[in-house]
Structure 1
């Protein structure tokens, strides 16, 4: 195989070849590094390079295999890590100039699990300042671009991860999600992801000097972006393994028990006060028809308390951010991020004091209502965003910009507030006046049943195909 053939392989395909001995880890890493050299200068998706460490690790993996050592489930798979998570010897800058020299003393749990499984980290991907935008730009590393073109944002906060994996820089990309930061880049770039539920993936940064707020702990999760849904069944069982440094991790197997009969899927196109774009409606129709053909039972539903849950959850999060991060953002953030936060606080009036405590308590009400609802509907097929993905810097353009970027994302942050798993999967490429871009849908799963969401994503992908192939043809 040529290097081009190799970097195009999915993680599942890569492992099949490295396990069989058709490819070495040195082969797969060299191809990924060559691809990074070719396309990253235009994208700025990877901003911290692990080239020498990656080459040395690939050689070590090959040497171990040749000596008879067993191979891991991700043997030789090139991956990237987001710059807000600790990787030994690298800066966890989080896109903030003041943190550019915050060198990690040890690996975060997800970094350790990936490497133990045989993955090779080839680079670290860009994020906005403080990882708190749905777009990716910062004064430290600059703007990340979407491989589909400059007309569409790469999303955020894992925008570098989404851009990299879809451009062919590694088969898997680490990211995280507190209000949509895995799913925004998946939607923007055409990747597939599943936002894990609360407690599923152990999380902790050895470089941190204080604990995060309670809502940050309960809403933020670690995860992966891939080019094909099957790769999530390969990789997610690895990162859900326990780590004693996260005392609230839920040590559950990746696969839950089989459900009786055809799985009921609640289906909705409800976008509340926001207009539903015809291409988003088409994406939902494609996904629904694919699930019907795959044997799922589809019923139209009225989701319980979705809008109130989303707004209460984000306003509560803004209250915690204002109280615990406000001073740091003012002191160390750029004028751009401060202006965006001011707009956030205007549109999502932060809950404070007793009101904030009451909303933290009400989180259980929303989660309970959905828990009961999902006894009948283990999966919900819904929009992620009501409109095609927005242009770069849309959130810097006043109230209307922030309303389009975050205000309309009710289906996103509501899932974080309740701690429910949610997958995003592309269905087609829309030829829009501003340029082509992928369209996607969201699949919400019952608590701790990420595997069900991935099964449904695989069924949709079987009908829709891999979006990366159309992207690479365009990039060529």
Structure 2
């Protein structure tokens, strides 16, 4: 990508290589990233707080330092507004929280900065970070760089839109039911949702501890434009932080597996139907993995529909009990209407039944772990249809079904705590306009590296979505 390409199109790996060998300074990279942000963001509203001045100062300090250069030296990144960054509001897209200033950096911010990354801005999220679409009364809607015919996804929609528009080489996001993978699918980005305990998490601004299921299902991660950048950046993200007592301090790379690695391809549509464009994306991914030497086989994992449905109903049970009053009090009328529909379609467990289903989580995780002994990777659709239009989840029962029902494969991985990646393998030429179609690759616990390896193997054979997108951008 280097050579004649503008700096904003360079990958994180290319930038880091140039800052390490001295052919670029951190400040030069930062100025290019800020210029791109100022040019592209007004049409997208992906970054809702520019940190241009702070970024320049941090880059200049890096250039003046004699300390060893970190793996992400000078790489521009963005941080989602639901994570603490000292001196900035952790608004979570809620107007009532616009002045909730963080007293210190969250672990992911500390880890990225320690690796040499430069934070250039903070990205948008829906209210309470609990929609697959990014819009809120505080900052408004984030748009998809592919066009306004398709949502930017959520809840890390600002991050997905920003990274694919070239506003930073990496974008922080998080995922409790698909909030890294929805924006990856919508915008054509590449991500891996880490497994439970992989990346330390804590917001110093929080007043109470999160629910047990939120702690078990929510994870921190990154959106990138290629899988190689995840191999570069995720080892920094998983650095230990004592503020997360349940973080598992394991290396990024696990032991090599004897080949060929078996990949189960799942096509269950859960009664929604598998859209032809999604089937094409899945077939392309399977073919690419087979060509790369993986042993690809059509096999359905155990208890898939049950795991996803019970997982989401259990999560909503905890949300209704612990977060429900705040959503009713501080959320917009639109958000409350959406939650009413969530609760109708996925009736929350309550009382003793909620405790029983929390316990059952081990049953489903065990079944999947046993399956992954034979098939270390599982290739699935992410959404069963092409990504929906902006605001679709606010259009009653059908809208929520399109936004959440067709993304059933997403919930499974959060409930079981398994890692899962997402990457685009097909560009659909739909009547409303072109858009990327992503697939999901799930894997064994603690083996995000296997997932990213598989995504790299696919990328060798299927061009990245950013080339197609950038040919259409101004």
Tell me the residue number matched to 1:232: 230
Shift of 1:4: 6.0
Deviation sequence 1:190-222 (CA, Å, 0-9, x none):
000000000000000000000000010000000
> How far 1:407 sits from its partner (Å)?
1.5
Q: What SS does structure 2 have at the residue aligned with 1:351?
A: coil
- Where does structure 2 lack aligned partners over 5 or more consecutive residues? none
Counterpart for residue 296 of structure 2: 298
Q: Report deviation, 1:5.
A: 1.5
- Aligned equivalents of 1:209 and 1:426: distance in 2? 38
What's the counterpart of residue 34 of structure 1?
35
1:330 counterpart residue number? 328
Deviation, 1:428, is 2.1
How far apart are the structure 1 equivalents of 2:247 and 2:304?
Answer: 26
Instruction: Name the CA distance, whole Å, in 2 between partners of 1:24 and 1:86.
Output: 28
Determine the structure 1 residue equivalent to 2:418: 420
CA distance in 1, matches of 2:133, 2:253: 33
8 Å CA contact retained: 1:192, 1:424: yes
What is the CA-CA distance between 1:125 and the residue it aligns to? 0.1
- Give the one of 179, 182, 188 matched to 1:181: 179
Q: What's the offset of the Cα at 1:410?
A: 1.1
TM-superposed deviation, 1:469: 1.3
Matched residues in 2 for 1:212 and 1:396: separation? 26
TM-score normalised according to structure 2 size: 0.99
Q: Which moved more, 1:39-48 or 1:4-13?
A: 4-13
Runs of 4+ in 1 over 4 A off after TM superposition: 1-4
1:14 aligns with 2:15: yes
Which of 285, 288, 309 is equivalent to 1:287? 285
For 2:458, which of 457, 460, 463 is the aligned residue?
A: 460
* 1:69 CA displacement: 2.5
Equivalent in the alignment of 2:123: 125
> Secondary structure of 2:471's partner?
helix
Tell me the C-alpha RMSD between the 2 structures: 1.0
Report if the CA contact (8 A) 2:267-2:300 is conserved: no
- Aligned residue in 1 for 2:434: 436
Q: Counterparts of 2:11 and 2:156 in 1: how far apart (Å)? A: 20
Residue 208 of structure 1, aligned match among 195, 206, 209: 206
| Rounded Cα–Cα distance in structure 2 between residues aligned with 1:241 and 1:270 | 37
Q: Tell me what 1:353 maps to.
A: 351
Normalised TM-score (structure 1): 0.98
Provide the C-alpha distance between the structure 2 equivalents of 1:37 and 1:48, rounded to a whole number of angstroms: 11
Pairwise CA distance, 1:261: 2.1
Local SS of the residue matching 1:475: coil
3-state SS, counterpart of residue 474 of structure 1: coil
Aligned equivalents of 1:212, 1:50: Cα separation in 2: 28
Instruction: Select between 146-155 and 270-279 the one with higher mean Cα deviation.
Output: 270-279
Question: What is the CA distance between 1:3 and its match in structure 2?
Answer: 10
Q: Deviations over 1:125-175 (max 9, x none)?
A: 000000000000000000000000000000000000000000000000000
